[in-house]
Amino acid sequence: MPAPSYAKGPDAPLSTLTLAQTLAQTAMRFPQHEALIVRHQNIRYTWQQFDEAVTLVARGLAGLGLQPQDRVGIWSTTCVEWVLLQYACARAGYVLVNVNPAYRSHEMAFILRKSAIKALFLYVQDGRANYQQILDSARSSEHPLTHVVHLGTSEWDALLANGCDLPSTPVEAHHVTNIQYTSGTTGSPKGVLLTHHNLVNNAFYTGDWLALTEQDRMVVPFPLYHCAGCVCSVLNCVTRGTTIILPSPSFDPRASLEAVQEERATVIGGVPTMFIAQLQHPEFCHFDLSTLRVAFMGGAPCPVELLKQVNSLMHCPEVAVIYGQTEASPIITMHGGKDSFEQRTSTVGSAVPNCEVKIIDPATGQTLPQGEPGELCARGYLLMTGYDHEPEATARAVDADGWLHTGDLAVMREDGHFHICGRAKDLIIRGGENIYPAEIEGFLFTHPKIADAHVVGLPDLKFGEIVGVWVRLHPGQTVTPEEIREFCTGQIAHFKVPHHIRIVDEFPMTISGKVQKFRIREMEIEALGLGNQIVATA
């Protein structure tokens, strides 16, 4: 009889420091080491300078008359001010609200109302949008927004010049310090309430498993509004004294490669699409990436062939896959230094320290035997305190026993490692056969002409669902849908062979680099006229 699908990460001491205390401690340990490099703004701070700049910004926030636990929004692509505000809010006891730069007037109005932001920081505009115009359209007298500060203008300078003493109320580790909004692919976005305790410890353990030290230098291509950027990367570095390298305002494959070479980076992170874009950049072979020692990726299924290419072509002896959710601060499982190549290329690692993980039958809630797919659940210090002002949604996500129900389908192996099959909502059921999109995507990635592929389920009156896929080819390559089907035939089960295949130049994506599969499905249903084949379910 197989053992139950339950594991607990190693026991480890839990930090009681806040984000700002963690920064101050690192500044004391490595005052003259390079801390933060923002290449597109030509800014370089040592840890001492970084810590002093954070205090200056914290005093400026206090000068606005904000009260402890007031919400402060940052609505911007990557910049030095984003990082300074993150730690300044933590030092003064305010709650930082991460606002996605892709949000427009409808979404911004929702965030202003829901989060009760008192002060908002933004650039007037950039190459993506005129943020001030969007804000003017979204803002209403009902919103508590009192202060709007434009970055890169005299308003920011005035903030720094008019600072005052910080609030006397002590900032504690279990206070909420950050609100991050979920993607909102179903319903409205939910504000995830995260504490110093959540974030500092999760970042520390991530750095521990990557074996980061003050000698490492990390290129951060993730957007900072995302947990992968501000926690897995920036805060991870802060806990270790690792140099933070921000290559560009938003992801640019060439800028990331250039940053690795010129800053002699040892670590780089990203979602799979970012690594694919770098590997396929026409100038890739001209960059010296030999200083890299480890890469970490997550946020979407990682094809085996991609891991192998990062391992060999990007000169990363170690490639760690991370898995988690914003609600879990975010890392639940990841690879450590002792994991084998097989474990790295077929799993998302094992439970991180002080985290429990189990696989359950979604219908019954019972823990399944090892080797059987079910919903992955997690419990421990890392879980959010809840969704902001949404107790019912919180109760649906975290059960009475404190288990976060991730909605991800996974299998636990005998070695304690986990394999993610995909999102429960992405599972395709064709004529009673369960099909996991990630499996087909990984197989298609082995085709020499295919650069990337994303699989969705499409409605079908006969089978309930059939397999559809969007495929992007390597530059200069051509292939027909029939050739792709022939490549699949005999290599994967017949019911997994894609029925609808579309060759595309790009995928609909979020600003964090995640492909929006729900949009692919919607566009295919409209293009193929399949709306009348959608079968209603209870």
Question: Is the pLDDT confidence value at 12 over 70?
Answer: yes
Structure token pair of residue 320: 């760690």
d(CA 92, CA 87): 9
Q: Look-up: residue for tokens 């709306």?
A: 531
Average pLDDT in the chain? 93
The CATH number of the structural domain formed by 427-533 is 3.30.300.30
Closest CA to 321 of 438, 160, 157: 438
* Section 177-195 average pLDDT: 80
Question: Is the pLDDT confidence value at 534 over 80?
Answer: no
What pLDDT does residue 510 have? 78
Question: Is the pLDDT confidence value at 537 over 60?
Answer: no
The domain locations on the chain are: 19-30+42-171, 427-533
SS3 assignment, position 367: strand
Helix (H) or strand (E) holding 156: helix 154-161
Rounded CA Rg of the chain: 23
Question: Is the pLDDT confidence value at 185 over 90?
Answer: no
Per-residue pLDDT tens over the stretch 279-329:
999 999 999 999 999 999 987 667 788 899 999 999 998 999 999 999 999
Torsional sign, CA 147, 151, 153, 159: positive
The CATH number of the structural domain formed by 19-30+42-171 is 3.40.50.980
d(CA 239, CA 138): 37
Whole-prediction pTM value? Answer: 0.85
Per-residue pLDDT tens over the stretch 253-270:
999 999 999 999 999 999
- The more confidently predicted of residues 152 and 431 is 152
Per-residue pLDDT tens over the stretch 390-416:
999 999 999 999 999 998 899 999 999
- Asked whether the beta carbons of 101 and 128 are under 8 A apart, the reply is yes
- Distance linking the first and last C-alpha atoms of the chain: 34
What pLDDT does residue 538 have? 27
Model confidence at 456, in pLDDT bands (50, 70, 90)?
Answer: very high
Per-residue pLDDT tens over the stretch 413-437:
999 999 988 777 787 878 667 787 8
Per-residue pLDDT tens over the stretch 24-66:
999 999 999 999 999 999 999 999 999 999 999 999 999 999 9
- Asked whether the beta carbons of 334 and 320 are under 8 A apart, the reply is yes
Q: Which residues pair with 6 in a beta bridge?
A: 358
Torsional sign, CA 255, 89, 179, 150: negative
Residues 6+ positions from 356 with CB-CB distance below 8 Å: 6, 7, 8, 9, 378, 379, 380
Per-residue pLDDT tens over the stretch 95-142:
999 998 988 888 899 899 999 999 999 999 998 889 999 999 999 988
Torsional sign, CA 496, 360, 209, 229: positive
Question: Is the pLDDT confidence value at 187 over 90?
Answer: no
Model confidence at 186, in pLDDT bands (50, 70, 90)?
Answer: very low
* Section 337-358 average pLDDT: 94
d(CA 31, CA 50): 9
